[in-house]
Amino acid sequence: MTVIIHGWVNNKREVGGIVFLEVLHGLSLRPIVVVAKRNENETLWRVARKIKVGSAVEVIGEFKEKSISKRGKEFRPDSLKVLSEPSTKLPVDVTGKTRALLDTKIEYRYLTLRLPRERAIFKVRATLIKAAREFFERNRFLEVHTPKICGAGAEGGATVFSLDYFGNTAYLSQSPQLYKQMLIAGIPRVYEITPYFRAEKFDTPRHLNESWGIDAEIGFISGMEDVMKVLEDLIVHIVNQVLKECEEEISLLSSDIPKPKAPFKRIEYSEAVEELKSEGLDIKWGEDLGTTEEAKLGEIMKQEGHDFYFIVRYPWDAKPFYIMRDGDLCRSFDLDCRGLELASGGQREHRYDELVKNMIDKGLNPEDFKFYLEAFKHGMPPHGGFGLGVERLLMKLLGANNIREVVLFPRDRRRLVP
């Protein structure tokens, strides 16, 4: 059967009177090997000899029934046309023989996507997002889209990007937190797959200034466990779908994907602090867990057979104003995997007077959040939710060392282009 192939020439070899062109077609990870023989079609063979690596081509012909190439399926061309060829030497070796540095990959991401390993990462990412959406739709959540230009930050503080909005100060959204809570006054279950913008001056392998999150909010809950159950079921569904749909990608990336099984381990914050102290770490009760503490706790949990685990019952001082308070503690949790925080969430404060008190105790002015507080005057049910970091989850699934590996065009404090 005659077919048309469009793609890029990633490699070219010539042996005697035969030219082998490796053409990357569609979303495939393996190339199609176009075999042009002089003794079969000399005109086409001469065209193949002149083609530059990196060229965009159109090939018309048939796949061979038997293929001897281990690189990809062999293709016998009847027509070979160059649609576009590189005007300069490619800045990335698309044959894959020489690995590019991370900064080079980011600078030329559109070219590195011709490499099977790089392409595999972003195919897994797309599958992850698709699986998350499938989960929420099956569980009767409504997908929503909240503003990314806001009049107040979800968490206050200085970690917001400000901008001029027709003479007024506005901010890029830190998260959809305030808006998704407001929506619970009218819709019992909402979710959003959305960008976050945070003006934190980090230079670490796990932080970005623009990242993506999977956010959910659930109304009419009986407690924090209801929220944790949804999150762990979501994680199990995502990982199972990635394992099912991305077998070739995972094999290519040699990924040791943690296979979650619900329910996940729960460890109280106070217990975690004692465990870390027993390991010689200097941590005081009330402090949030930093990179070193998270990594060590991950080692402890791994020894106990837990890849995914919840840290629950944090000190209220360490969490945002909208979390429900229980004395010095609060109804909050973090979800970690192998020493990295993936998600945070908990039960929210739905009582208007208590929420105003929380704001004042956190040093915030309730007048700045008047639009948000208004929703809590009209029958706001008990509710809770979470925000799950897409890039962080992908890092742990694929074993990436730097979060920038799993983002097409990263935004950090030193990178605004491409």
Residues marked active site are found at 198, 200, 206-207, 341, 344, 392
State the Cα–Cα distance between residues 252 and 116, nearest whole angstrom.
8
Q: In Å, what is the CA distance from 59 to each residue of 7, 47, 56, 95, 338?
A: 9, 12, 10, 20, 47
What are 370's two structure tokens?
A: 């008047």
By the 8 A CB rule, do 53 and 22 touch? Answer: no
Q: In Å, what is the CA distance from 405 to each residue of 31, 249, 409?
A: 23, 15, 10
What DSSP letter does each residue of 288-345 carry, written as one string?
PP-HHHHHHHHHHHHHTT-SEEEEE--BGGGS-TTBPEETTEESEEEEEETTEEEEEE
Spatial CB neighbours of 88, under 8 Å, sequence gap ≥ 6: none
User: Pairing state of beta strands 383-389 and 210-219?
Assistant: antiparallel
Cα-based angle 96, 414, 418 (whole degrees, multiple of 5): 50
By the 8 A CB rule, do 411 and 400 touch? Answer: no
Q: Which 8-state DSSP code applies to residue 412?
A: B
Q: 77 preceded by cis ω (within 30°)?
A: no
Residue 255 has a CB neighbour count (10 Å cut-off) of 20
Distance between start and end Cα atoms, the chain = 42
